[in-house]
Structures are given as C-alpha cells and as structure tokens.
Structure 1
Amino acid sequence: MKRLASILPLLLGSMLLTTDLPAHGQANSEALATLQFNFTTPGARSLGLGGAFLGLADDATAAYTNPAGLTVLSKPEVSLEGRTWRFDTAYTDHGHGFGPPTGQGIDTVAGAV
C-alpha cells in the first residue's frame, strides 16, 4: 500500500504531462493558415446530392471522385465545368454578411430603406 502511495503521484504527474502533447500536435492554425482547401466535388449532380456522390459516381465526373466508377460507364462521356471560387471576401469577414467591415469598431448594415 505504501509502495502504491509513493508511485501514484509519479504516475498521475506523468499522465498529466503527456496529455498535452497530442493537443499541440493537432493545432495547425499557424501552419495551415494560408492554405484554403476546396473539397467540393465536380458536377451539378454531385453538388445536388450534397457531396454524397462517391458510391454513386456513374458519370464522367467520377474520374475525380471515384475513378473505379468509370468502369460502369456504358459509353464514353465528357464533362466540362467552369468555376470561380474566392475564399476570402470582405463580406463574410468577422462572421456576418451585412457589409464590408469599416475597421472603426462599428458594424455596418446593408439593406433598402
């Protein structure tokens, strides 16, 4: 019992010190701050299904989402798509979509009067 009482603080202390390590390994805010990922799948059908297209991929856009889905095509298909994507807009800054931030500590409101 005395041996357990002497080892217990060491065990608890080492557990407390090692629980912080995974949290530092998962924090990627500074490392990936400039990277902006676009994980949207191509094609109107895929976007209409909310991205749940991986198992159903049976058209030409399957080359991006599920290349194995190309084996079920009965005839050759071609898919063309054009997109523009701007990640950082002034209108979605600071968590609202009412107007461009003024930088003066006041909020802006857009709308018809």
Structure 2
Amino acid sequence: MTVPRRILRPWHKFDASLRRALPTATLDLALRRTTANLTSTPWQDPPPNDPAEALLLEAVDALCTTRMIPPLLWTALLPHYTPTQLTALCLAVGDRATTTMLTTTTNFP
C-alpha cells in the first residue's frame, strides 16, 4: 500500500512545524516514549537525570493514557517549556498515536 501524495505533502509540513517547535532530542525522547506506551513495549532508556525530562515523560504518559496533560503537570512543565512547545508535544504524541493506528491497521511499514 502506498500513501497518496496529497496526504503526504501536508503531513510533511505538519511534521516539520513540530520539529521546529521542540528541540530534536526532546521530541525524539517524547516519541520513543509514546511508541513504547502505544505498543506496550518496555521502556529501554535510562531514567532521566534532568527534572524537565522526567516531567516531559510524565506528560507523555498522561497523554497516552488520559489523552490530556493534567493542569498541575502543565503548570509544573511551564518553567521548562513554553506553551507553544507543550502544544507541539500534544500534537506530536497525537500524531504518533494516529500513525501507529494507521500502520497497525494497514500493515504499512
């Protein structure tokens, strides 16, 4: 199965905007954690030493289980991330969830 170009082009623009909003290492960490949550795979990365990363992973876990970042966690994240970055995190986790559902349903590599 191939994905039509009319779908891929807008998605690439969306993906590029997420990559501009968050530092690459932060986004990659969040997406690895999202994938682990969605596929029920054990988390392989070592525990974070940085409090900001620990909060970020907590936010990803919350997004994967409750589909939201609780208000207290959002407030705790604000000294480390801007509201724009947190919004991009929500969109990135949602995008990864959607992509995982699509690839699982269609057996697309």
For Structure 1 versus Structure 2, the TM-score category normalised by the shorter chain is under 0.3
Higher helix share: 2
Give the number of the structure with larger relative contact order, counting CA–CA contacts within 8 Å between residues 6 or more apart: 2
TM-score of the superposition, structure 1-length normalised?
0.19
User: TM (normalized to structure 2)?
Assistant: 0.20
